[in-house]
Structure 1
Amino acid sequence: MSLIEKISQQAAHLTPNERRLAETVIESPTTAALGTASDLARIVGVHEATASRLVRKLGFDSYAAFRDALREEFIATRDPATRFEKTIAETPAGTILGSLAQTEAQALSRIEDFITADQIADAAGLMMAAPRIFIYGYGNAEVLALMMTKRFRRFGKDVHHMTPDPRGLAEQALGMQAGDALLTFAFRRPPRAYAALIQTAHEAGAASIVISGNSGALLSPRPDHLLAAPRSGDPDAFQTLTVPMTVCNAIIIAAGQTAKDTSLKKLERLGHLIERFE
């Protein structure tokens, strides 16, 4: 089990100070991986015993074991606070494309360390089996939401692309029923409507699916299905949508495979309709 999954499982049981420590670990893994429990506690402003207690809750016998896991999982892939400004300041104009390609390739090469084929298949199966699919993306995740909305409509699914307006969200969420599926995204920080959407889906009996970066480990309330993977392969690089878009495309392909004949018939019918309307 990855460290992200361990934090995610314990997120609802963390005290406020333990949560602050976990947030610091995710945002600044180098600091936590190179120091001691005392160093981390001092940076966050909590007692050293709090750091030790967090480590035990995550299933580690000692801070040293936790630090080793942290180095293995995060150091090569996590983006610290220095983002776009540092990237453009240190990357010569002539090497931007190559540097970015290398950074993204590193992240993509480790994606299966965080998200399994079974997780992709489960998410695709739920969405294809759902009577209705509700998709919400805010900020830079909106382009992913639009892509997923379009792709699943091409499979003949009843897809609702949810508006960012609070009143509009409430009106659309009112239609959620048992068996439906909610897909949303959470990068760095969850969108303002995240908690309300997940809670509403749970109350309605709809399955909730979240695509996220490392910060997904601390999402609360926890979704039914969390697909979380680091978005950057270089600690000094800003984050792009390459990794989450790859996850989305994997779900789309898996969805087509779950109902191959039906999907192909829908796409064929779509082609005829496009010719008619054009």
Structure 2
Amino acid sequence: MTRRIDARIENQYGDLPPQERRVADFLLEHLGDLAVFSAAEISRQTGVSKATVSRLFRKLGFDDFKEVRDHAMALRASGQPTAAPLLTGDSEATTGIQRHIQHEQANLARLAETLSGGRLNEVVELVAGAESVLIIGLRNSYPPAAHLHHQLIQLRSRVRLAPQPGQSIGEELAGLGLHEAVVVFGFRRRPRGFTELVQRTAASPAVLVLIGDATARRYAQHAQIWIECPLDADGAFDSYAAPMSLVSLLANGVLNAALPAGRRRISHVADTYDDLKELDL
């Protein structure tokens, strides 16, 4: 694997002359938005010559700034956190919030376009009609998987979440049957073994629904239904607003697909909350 630029800088930082350190500091502070700069702009922002900027790039193992920029963009696209733009002052902070909201709106619009062809209804019908539902989420995918599990167990029985603490996945996949639905969340920075997990699930009699970002497209061929959920964000970390919105849409759809039974289940769960005094309303 190619070493990250920040690791390369840290490895050589102590040996860099002062002017090259200024450029290195600038790169570290702007890893998340290098795409908006040019080598000339970096020279102007840091007050050093373009020759000094180019010399640092070569020391770090890059031919030119385009290679540096492509490297930083590839890091972000893979889901690795990169330094977000520094926000100083109320006006810049407000601008940062606006950019964040614009990204969220764009993500939701792309999700809506994906779902507009009836794909959401297909997933709803599968989940509502399955005898049992298994939801799988690893690493970054665990929170939306856990949220979907929490919503569905209020609407229907026989819904499982994997992996549980201290549990591996094999036990859950070993006995998958014909009338089961498996919903797998596969967002970027997936752990090793994800390919085998998807292939093993696809080879079972169960129906596989796969939800992930663009990096999971290569697994779509194994699923009966594939839903792409964008995670793009203005800052260093991915945004999971679109996946969480999808969970809400899916849970509401399952409820409406079997409304009388769903209402009875919700009422029974609420009564149990009261009996156990679990909620502080």
Is the TM value for this pair above 0.5?
A: yes
Q: Residue 250 of structure 2 corresponds to which residue in structure 1?
A: 251
Q: Find the counterpart in structure 1 of residue 22 from structure 2.
A: none
Q: Does the 8 Å contact 2:78/2:189 carry over to 1?
A: no
1:82 and 1:208 mapped to 2: Cα distance?
24
Shift of 1:182: 0.8
1:157–1:88 CA distance, 2 compared to 1 (3 A)? farther
- Greater shift, 180-189 or 167-176, is seen at 167-176
Q: CA deviation at 1:226?
A: 0.4
Gaps of 5+ in 2: 1-34, 36-75
- Following superposition, the deviation at residue 257 of structure 1 comes to 1.2
| Structure 2 equivalent of residue 232 of structure 1 | 232
* Distance in 2 separating the partners of 1:127 and 1:213: 21
Structure with max Cα Rg: 2
What secondary structure is seen at the aligned counterpart in 2 of 1:239? coil
Counting only pairs closer than 5 Å after superposition, residues 1-278 of structure 1 correspond to structure 2 as 80=77, 84-89=81-86, 92-116=92-116, 118-163=118-163, 168-219=168-219, 222-232=222-232, 238-278=237-277
Aligned partners of 2:274, 2:145: CA distance in 1, in Å?
A: 26
Contact kept in structure 1, 2:79 and 2:238, CA below 8 Å: no
CA shift in 2, pair 1:207/1:191, >3 Å: farther
CA distance in 2, matches of 1:82, 1:117: 28
CA displacement at 1:237 relative to structure 2: 6.6
TM-aligned CA distance change 1:82 to 1:129, over 3 Å: closer
Q: Distance in 1 between matches of 2:80 and 2:169?
A: 31
Give the superposition deviation at 1:147: 0.7
What secondary structure is seen at the aligned counterpart in 2 of 1:87? Answer: coil
Q: SS of the residue aligned with 2:273?
A: helix
Q: Is the 8 A contact 1:231 1:240 kept in 2?
A: yes
- Three-state SS of the structure 2 residue aligned to 1:154 is coil
Higher mean displacement: 184-193 or 208-217:
184-193
Q: What's the CA shift for 1:157?
A: 2.3
Contact kept, 8 Å, 2:123 with 2:225, in 1: the verdict is: yes
CA apart distance, 1:117: 5.2
| Structure 1 spans left out of the alignment, 5+ residues | 1-29, 31-78
Match of 2:68 in 1: none
Task: Look up the SS of the partner of 2:82 in the other structure.
Answer: helix
219-228 or 252-261, which deviates more: 219-228
Query: Over residues 128-177 of structure 1, what are the superposed CA-to-partner deviations in whole Å (9 max), with x where a residue is unaligned?
Result: 11111111111121111111111111112211111178963111222311
Change in Cα spacing, 1:82 to 1:258, as seen in structure 2 (3 Å) is closer
The residue matched to 1:89 in structure 2 has which SS?
Answer: coil
SS of alignment partner, residue 256 of structure 1: helix
When residues 126 and 191 of structure 1 are mapped into structure 2, their CA distance, relative to the original with a 3 A threshold, is: farther
Aligned length: 200
What is the distance in 1 between the residues matched to 2:166 and 2:184? 15
Q: Which residue is equivalent to 1:24?
A: none
Separation in 2 of the partners of 1:205 and 1:150?
25
In the alignment, the residues of structure 2 paired with residue 139 and residue 88 of structure 1 have an alpha-carbon distance, to the nearest angstrom, of 26
The structure whose RCO (Cα within 8 Å, separation 6+) is larger is 1
- Normalised by the size of structure 2, how large is the TM-score? 0.62
Partners of 2:199 and 2:219 lie apart in 1 by 12
Give a deviation string over 1:29-81, Cα, whole Å, max 9, x none: x9xxxxxxxxxxxxxxxxxxxxxxxxxxxxxxxxxxxxxxxxxxxxxxxx646
Q: Percent identity?
A: 17
Q: 1:184 to 1:85 in 2, by over 3 A?
A: same
Residue 244 of structure 1, CA deviation: 1.2
In structure 1, C-alpha distance between the alignment counterparts of 2:164 and 2:154, rounded to whole Å: 23
